[in-house]
Amino acid sequence: MSFTTSTFSTSSISSLLVFAILMLFAGGCNDGAIGQKANLSTKADSVSYSLGYNYGRILAQEGIDDLDLANYAAGVFDAMYDSVEAISATDRDSILMAFQQELQVKQEMARAAESEKNLKEGEDFLAENRNNEGVVETESGLQYRVIEEGTGDKPSATNTVEVHYRGTLLNGEEFDSSYRRNQTATFPLNRVIEGWTEGLQLMSVGSKYEFFIPAYLAYGDTPPQGSPIKAGSVLVFEVELIDIVR
C-alpha cells in the first residue's frame, strides 16, 4: 500500500492512518517503533502525523496516558471498516462512562496536588519579595512596585481603562502580552481579576507598575483553560496605564 500526493484523498488519509497504526503493532510494542521520528515523505504522511499529534495532545491534556494502543488501533479499524465490533454499543457507553468518572477523580486529585505545590511556592516567593526594595504590600496581600509614576487621574473600579501589560509566571514564562501583540488592551476594571481591579486603582494615568498577585486575587484553583497558568499560581504583571476611557 502506497500513497503519493497525486493519489491524496480523504480515504487515503484514513487508510494510511489505520495502516500505520496497525503496522506499528504488528510485531508488538517493544520493537522500538514507538517514539521513532516520523517519516513525512508525502502530503498524506504529514496530514496523518498532524491528526495523530493533535489527538495525542488532547489525550495527554486529559491525563489519559495508559491506553493500550494496539486495542485503540483495533477499535479505529473496526469503526472505519464496519468490522464486527468486539464490544457492543451499550457496553462501550457503560465502560466509557465509568472511565470518565475515574478520569475526573484523577484530574481533581492532580489539580489539588498541583495547586498545593504552587501555593507553597507562591507563599515563599511573596514572603521574600515583600522585603525587596520598593515593594509595597496592601492589606489584601497584593504586592506592587512603582516603575514610573504618572501624573494623570486615577481610575475607579467602575471605569474602563486602556493599558499595555505583560504577564509572567514565577519562572519567568510569559503567558500574555499586549506589547507582543503591539496593541493596547481596553477593559472594564470590574470585569478582571481582583488583583487588577485593586492594583489599577492605585495608578495614575502615565504610570507603570509591577504587580505580584497572589493566587486568591488571580485565578485561584480555576485558571483559564489551555493557559500556561496553573492552579494556585502567583502572577506577575508589568502594567502601563495609558488612559481612562470612561
Q: Which three cell numbers stand for residue 102?
A: 475515574
List beta partners, residue 168. Answer: 174, 236
CA distances from 246 to 155, 162, 204 (A): 9, 10, 14
Determine which one of 3, 144, 165, 211 is catalytic: 165
Q: Is 165 a catalytic residue?
A: yes
Query: Does residue 8 carry a catalytic annotation?
Result: no
Active-site entry in 25, 176, 213, 229 = 176
- Directed axis angle between helix 10-26 and helix 43-61, to 10°? 70
**E-strand stretches of the chain:** 135-137, 143-148, 160-168, 174-177, 185-188, 208-213, 235-244
CA neighbor of 228 nearest in space, from 175, 192, 189: 175
Question: Are 37 and 2 spatial neighbours (Cβ–Cβ below 8 Å)?
Answer: no
Is 53 among the catalytic positions?
Answer: no
| Whether 211 contacts 143, CB under 8 Å | yes
Asked about 193 being catalytic, the answer comes back as yes
The crossing angle, in degrees rounded to 10, of helices 10-26 and 69-80 is 150
Which among 209, 211, 219, 242 is annotated as catalytic? 219
Which of the residues 144, 209, 211, 237 is marked catalytic?
Answer: 237
Instruction: Give dist(CA 37, CA 171) in Å, integer.
Output: 31
| Residue of 193, 216, 221, 243 marked active site | 193
Instruction: List residues with catalytic annotation.
Output: 165, 175-176, 193, 219, 237
